[in-house]
Structure 1
């Protein structure tokens, strides 16, 4: 992967960035995404945020190599501390992390007044999608698009959210499966949840065999397994 040939995952993330947007890419991974989007004339300005000095220096070299230092600002900072309201960011991408970490980055950014509640969020969690959707719902973001893809034998979901005035209301099933994904079942989506069903069944067996039954965890896992089986039946 490089700035001219993004991974399938990052390429899909990039497709959700609005044309001519001012972008903040958090955890920028060599600044591949903002550089690629700038070279494609899709964005007008970008911040590439990195929290670790090594990747930060790699991102700076990548930007300089492509002659984009005046259009892409590489910043060494923790999460959304890389941006300020004065940057007038219109889209934020956070990809390749766990959903719980992305949620923490967003919450910290909210607490430190780094979110204007005007920007589109394009999020690609590796795991923990449900926790992330809960944060979006609680913080007045509507999930406007979702996609699922497979690359190198790993399945990834991408969640796209826009700010709204009212708190959104999603069901527990929508938070688990994705309000848009579950309405457009695909072979990859079915394969993911078949694996998840097997994992939930294993957990239930382990809980039953324990010397002391964790009843609350057992009940929650059993409920999720029932939801998964219902969805798989509906999708088939």
Structure 2
């Protein structure tokens, strides 16, 4: 018996960036909700649900089998991008992790990305690490989206294989805020950076109370706080 999977708003937004007839890998797929929902809506789509840990791997396998989608979705147990080494996937989704961990997965498995023309990345924190990582690759940031759900704010970064060899450069400010998000500056963006400004102020105050304050780090946080004020004022 099959039931239509109802995705969270976060996963629905990720799904928006997958083309019709996609063959994608969802790294850290958990219950395989995203691959199932995509394949339920698009019978020409195929997916790899990749999981490292036994529990989530078995859960994904069970869900895919119950939904009768084993012809479209392959559940593979493995570490990061190693699940795609024998699969000619065209898109890779890595969602729900820290930006640092996502970069680590991409860096360790970048030799496996030869057939992949799109990366859809949703970091829970530190999206700037991903933007910086992309600058040293053949991928080019083509879209960004920011959304709020259940008290959390999420960013989605989409990067495609660059059509030209010209290397893209972003300023430090664009890497922090996102070159697309800083242009759009929607309400969720403003909400996030108002929150971050308070956070930076708290960190600076705590660091200044130390016996030997780290002035280099303090000045780095002060610079980011200044950028936030400029961006929020600049309407």
What's the TM-score, normalizing by structure 1? 0.94
Relative to 1, partners in 2 of residues 1:217 and 1:29: Cα closer, same or farther, differing over 3 Å? same
Q: 2:129: which partner in 1?
A: 131
Query: Distance between the aligned counterparts of 2:220 and 2:43, measured in 1?
Result: 44
Partner secondary structure for residue 146 of structure 1: strand
In the TM superposition, residue 190 of structure 1 has moved relative to its aligned partner by: 0.4
Query: Distance between the aligned counterparts of 1:193 and 1:42, measured in 2?
Result: 40
Alignment of 1:18-167 (within 5 A): 18-41=19-42, 44-84=45-85, 86-110=86-110, 113-116=111-114, 118-164=116-162, 165-167=165-167
**Contact 1:21/1:42 (8 A) holds in 2:** no
How many residues align structurally? 231
Partner secondary structure for residue 29 of structure 1: coil
**Contact 1:94/1:123 (8 A) holds in 2:** yes
Structure 2 unaligned spans of 5+: none
Query: Distance between the aligned counterparts of 1:135 and 1:161, measured in 2?
Result: 11
Query: Distance between the aligned counterparts of 1:34 and 1:94, measured in 2?
Result: 12
Does 2:215 align with 1:215? yes
**Contact 1:140/1:166 (8 A) holds in 2:** no
Structure 1 unaligned spans of 5+: none
Q: 2:183: which partner in 1?
A: 183
Partner secondary structure for residue 87 of structure 1: coil
What's the TM-score, normalizing by structure 2? 0.95
**Contact 2:92/2:116 (8 A) holds in 1:** no
Query: Distance between the aligned counterparts of 2:193 and 2:152, measured in 1?
Result: 13
Relative to 1, partners in 2 of residues 1:159 and 1:3: Cα closer, same or farther, differing over 3 Å? farther
Report the aligned-residue RMSD. Answer: 1.4
Query: Distance between the aligned counterparts of 1:156 and 1:127, measured in 2?
Result: 8
Partner secondary structure for residue 139 of structure 1: coil
In the TM superposition, residue 140 of structure 1 has moved relative to its aligned partner by: 2.7
